[in-house]
Amino acid sequence: MDDLDLSADLTPPLRRRLRAARRVVAFTGAGVSQESGLATFRGGREALWQRARPEELATPEAFVRQPRQVWQWYADRHRTAAAAAPNPAHHALVRFAGLFPSFLLVTQNVDGLHQRAGSRDVLELHGTLRAARCHACGRRMEMHEALRRSPDEPPACACGGLFRPAVVWFGEALPAAVLERAMAAAARADLLLAVGTSASVFPAAGLIELAHRGGAAVIEVNPRPTAFSALADLRITAPAGVGLPALEEEVRRCRRAPS
């Protein structure tokens, strides 16, 4: 896709809001990492849940029932994520952070690519593939260390439990402190960027509506419409790796322009 020109899409009122914005939240989903070669969960033949049933691999009950199979599936996902490289969308978000006094990145992704690109203040709503934790006592270790110890089945903890990936499975609550901080930031935001998310998984997707109700400008970057597209002040119908760099350039121009 050629470089995207958004100069005609940002209306004067939206430019003024972008110029004045101080508190910004970026809310990202699997579409951000798709251009790094990582499959999304929904939305196509290669989507992860088109190839595997969530109840067979991504629930606490599945881990108790077949820990070896679940461990191996997540071990493969970890290796795939570790071999992937951040793409222009990840790098654009790093630059975004430098444009505003307050910038918080809230992600549904578990691959760690935001941090590897250089993003610092990242809330991982759905946990991380980069760590393992004991299913019994909660003790944590780096996933690469857990896989070094036991690549084919979950390693045992000193307490007698088994280590599992430190992700949030279906049927589990999001980490309370992380969700509370994300919700508080969205409610106070002047601008919310919704990027590469289907906005179909709750309570995470509720951050978009929360920001909108609080008066934030909402900009959505997604090739396809979502359930919250009607709330967006601007929809950028493009992949994240194209839409975000173009948006960052326009926002930078807005911020430099005289008031």
Q: Please list the active-site residues.
A: 126
Give the strand pairing for 127-134 and 140-142. Answer: antiparallel
Tokens of 43: 């939305």
- Could you write out the three-class secondary structure of 9-37? CCCHHHHHHHHHCCEEEEEECCHHHHCCC
H or E element that contains 236: strand 234-236
H helical segments located in the chain: 12-20, 31-34, 48-51, 54-57, 60-65, 67-83, 88-97, 113-117, 143-149, 176-188, 206-213, 240-256
Task: Determine the Cα–Cα distance for residues 183 and 227; give it in Å rounded to an integer.
Answer: 19
Task: Determine the Cα–Cα distance for residues 70 and 243; give it in Å rounded to an integer.
Answer: 35
Give the strand pairing for 217-221 and 127-134. Answer: unpaired
